[in-house]
């Protein structure tokens, strides 16, 4: 069906050019709101009517006539019907739908994926300062960011997964002071315990390992403790390396990897911040007032101008962000995507304003942002707020330990990033249809069992399924499943374009539901006398399992063969 759709889109483009030469209307199909209306809907007539100064139904008839002269339409289309104000409902021949089985089985793991293209994107996500364990908000970013990276890779893009963090700011100073207090024998609540200190048990672990002169190694740094209680700089460096190592362990448990770690401190040590500010001053985009340096962000749609350099000589936090994104652009990433919490919403306008004011050729709207809300965790009907290890919040490791990596991954991308989400621990542990990840994985396991039974009890050969007679797949439930499988490539492309990995989770549930309905409606092995029909249905089962496996892999969830 993928080939049929591509050929029909070309036919629609040719018909549009015939009806309206030079038209900018793009050939596209939509899914009808009701399946009874057909397989595809064409809305081009309504778009063409105004420039042609004709009635939409008149234009629709002209398009239908022009389409009727296209060979692809004769090959793949059963009927074209005009409805309503000028919709064209297209109904495919059965052969067009049935072809998807062979397409899936031939492409296997690459079904839905596009060839490599000369496109590069940098995706920044998680980006947690090394001041404590990763929390559930970082978990949501990890699931969303990794899925977005996988989606772009499926479309042929070269993707750089980037982790950005500050290793020398105020929070890092607080981390060092907290560890130093523990080394001196203090604990939360004691006289002399710093008011702003981090109170989690992990601070005591860092202090003990520092005094034991241990070596810690993270993906991007390594440090050996001196064991000297007065070595404040050593305490700071050890604590940063220790927590970066802990974060690495969390990310490994979550099956999330990064290609590059970028330090905020490097923007200062390399002079990137100073050169960025100097460039903005030279461009005439700044002014001084009350002893501070301001950026004219209102020239770029911000609600007020913003301070860049405060009267004490320090920079506000959006300035290094501008320098960082100029660095991304200079590295050749014409597309950049940032996953951050909704508390970063206010920085978007000023960062983009700084990039535009720099006159560095950065396109408007750069970078793209995906903002995610925090996650509320519920267990036994009550909200869970505190992890003993973290001291004040639930960690990523807590979620994985309480449920599973698969459940955390699936649940955290199952809603739009900017919508409130409640992670129900009890639901994630259920082994029934209420649990969406169980529902999808069970469908894959059921498909796998059908294939095993066919091979073991019927002497079937999975390698022969590409030649199955799919013309025998004529039942209504089979047609529904065939159409659902054929949606996969377009779903991937749209999810990548709109930065919407939740679409993959929705699609997985739809495929699972459609298959379960098919399984209930039709016999596959037992009670089917025609061996060729059995083979055709087994081919459909194999294709469905392949699509489920491919989609689950995109969101980092396993595809079990038995449950």
pLDDT digits (tens, 9 = 90+) for 400-421: 999 999 999 999 999 999 999 9
| φ, ψ (nearest 5 deg) of residue 490 | -65, -35
Per-residue pLDDT at 504: 98
Q: pTM of the predicted model, to two decimals?
A: 0.92
Give 423's strand partners: 377
Q: How far apart are CA 86 and CA 480, in angstroms?
A: 26
Angstrom CA distances, 489 to 1, 35, 151, 549, 556, stand at 11, 20, 11, 14, 18
Displacement of CA 542 from its chain's centroid (Å): 26
Burial class, 311, CB count within 10 angstroms (exposed 0-12 / middle 13-18 / buried 19+): exposed
Instruction: Estimate to the nearest angstrom the gap between the alpha carbon of 339 and the chain centroid.
Output: 10
All structural domains of the chain, each given as residue ranges with its CATH number in brackets, are 2-92 (3.30.1360.70), 170-255 (no CATH), 270-372 (3.40.50.620), 436-554 (1.10.730.10)
Pairing of strands 222-224, 215-217: antiparallel
C-alpha–C-alpha distance, residues 319 and 326, integer Å: 11
β-sheet bridge partners, residue 338: 124, 369
Ranges 1-5, 92-96, 438-442: which has the least confidence: 1-5
pLDDT band for position 335 (cuts 50, 70, 90): very high
Q: How many helices (H) and strands (E) does the chain have?
A: 21, 16
Query: Over 80: is that where the pLDDT of 35 sits?
Result: no
Secondary structure (3-state) at 283 = coil
Task: Judge whether 436 and 412 are in contact, CB under 8 Å.
Answer: no
Residue 341 reports pLDDT greater than 90: yes
pLDDT above 90 covers a percentage of the chain that reads 91
Q: Is 202 exposed, middle or buried (0-12, 13-18, 19+ CB in 10 A)?
A: buried
User: How confident is the model at residue 548, as a pLDDT?
Assistant: 98
Residue with tokens 């997985």: 508
- With residue 160 as reference, give the H or E element that holds it: strand 158-165
Which helix (H) or strand (E) segment holds residue 164: the answer is strand 158-165
Instruction: Find out whether 155 and 130 touch, Cβ atoms under 8 Å.
Output: no
Cβ atoms 495, 504 nearer than 8 A: yes
SS (H, E, C) 174-190: HHHHHHHHHHCCCCCCC
Secondary structure of 73-96 in the HEC alphabet?
HHHHEEEEEEECCCEEEEEECHHH
């Amino acid at each position: 069906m993928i080939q049929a759709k591509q050929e029909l889109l070309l036919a629609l483009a040719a018909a549009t050019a015939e009806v309206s030469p030079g038209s900018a209307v793009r050939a596209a199909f939509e899914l009808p709101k009701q399946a009874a209306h057909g397989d595809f809907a064409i809305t081009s007539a309504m778009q063409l009517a105004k420039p042609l100064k004709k009635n939409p139904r008149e234009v629709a008839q002209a398009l239908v006539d022009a389409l009727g002269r296209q060979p692809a339409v004769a090959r793949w289309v059963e009927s074209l019907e005009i409805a309503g104000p000028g919709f064209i409902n297209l109904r495919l021949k059965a052969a067009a739908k049935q072809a998807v089985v062979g397409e899936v089985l031939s492409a296997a793991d690459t079904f839905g994926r596009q060839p490599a293209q000369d496109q590069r994107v940098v995706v920044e996500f998680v980006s947690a300062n090394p001041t404590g364990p990763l929390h559930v908000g970082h978990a949501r970013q990890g699931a969303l960011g990794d899925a977005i990276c996988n989606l772009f890779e499926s479309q042929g893009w070269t993707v750089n997964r980037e982790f950005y963090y500050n290793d020398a700011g105020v929070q890092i100073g607080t981390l060092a002071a907290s560890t130093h207090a523990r080394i001196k024998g203090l604990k939360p609540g004691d006289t002399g315990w710093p008011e702003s200190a981090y109170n989690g048990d992990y601070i005591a672990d860092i202090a003990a390992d520092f005094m034991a002169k241990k070596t810690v190694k993270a993906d991007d740094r390594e440090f050996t403790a001196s064991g000297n209680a007065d070595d404040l700089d050593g305490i700071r460096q050890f604590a940063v390396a220790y927590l970066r190592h802990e974060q690495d362990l969390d990310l490994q448990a979550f099956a999330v990897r990064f290609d590059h770690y970028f330090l905020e401190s490097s923007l200062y040590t390399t002079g990137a911040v100073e050169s960025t500010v100097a460039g903005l001053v030279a461009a005439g985009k700044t002014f001084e007032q009350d002893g501070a340096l301001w950026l004219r962000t209102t020239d770029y749609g911000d609600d007020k101008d913003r301070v860049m350099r405060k009267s004490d000589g320090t920079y506000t936090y959006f300035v290094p962000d501008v320098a960082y994104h100029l660095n991304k652009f200079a590295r050749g990433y014409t597309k950049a995507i940032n996953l951050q919490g909704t508390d970063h919403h206010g920085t978007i306008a000023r960062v983009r304003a700084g990039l535009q004011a720099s006159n560095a050729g950065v396109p408007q709207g750069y970078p793209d942002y995906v903002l995610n809300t925090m996650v509320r965790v519920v267990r036994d009907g009550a909200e869970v707020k505190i992890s003993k290890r973290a001291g004040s919040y639930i960690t990523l490791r807590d979620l994985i330990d309480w449920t599973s990596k698969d459940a955390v991954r699936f649940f955290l991308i199952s809603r739009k990033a900017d919508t409130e989400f409640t992670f129900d621990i009890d639901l994630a542990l259920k082994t029934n249809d209420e649990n969406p990840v169980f529902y999808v994985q069970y469908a894959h396991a059921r498909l796998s069992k059908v294939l095993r039974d066919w091979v073991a009890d019927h002497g079937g050969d999975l390698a022969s399924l590409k030649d199955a007679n799919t013309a025998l797949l004529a039942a209504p439930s089979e047609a529904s499943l065939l159409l659902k499988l054929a949606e996969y490539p377009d779903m991937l492309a749209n999810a990548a374009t709109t930065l919407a990995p939740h679409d993959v989770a929705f699609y997985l549930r739809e495929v699972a539901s459609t298959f379960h309905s098919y399984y209930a409606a039709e016999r596959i092995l037992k009670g089917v006398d025609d061996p060729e029909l059995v083979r055709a249905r087994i081919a459909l089962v194999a294709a469905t399992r392949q699509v489920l496996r491919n989609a689950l892999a995109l969101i980092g969830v396993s595809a079990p063969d038995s449950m």
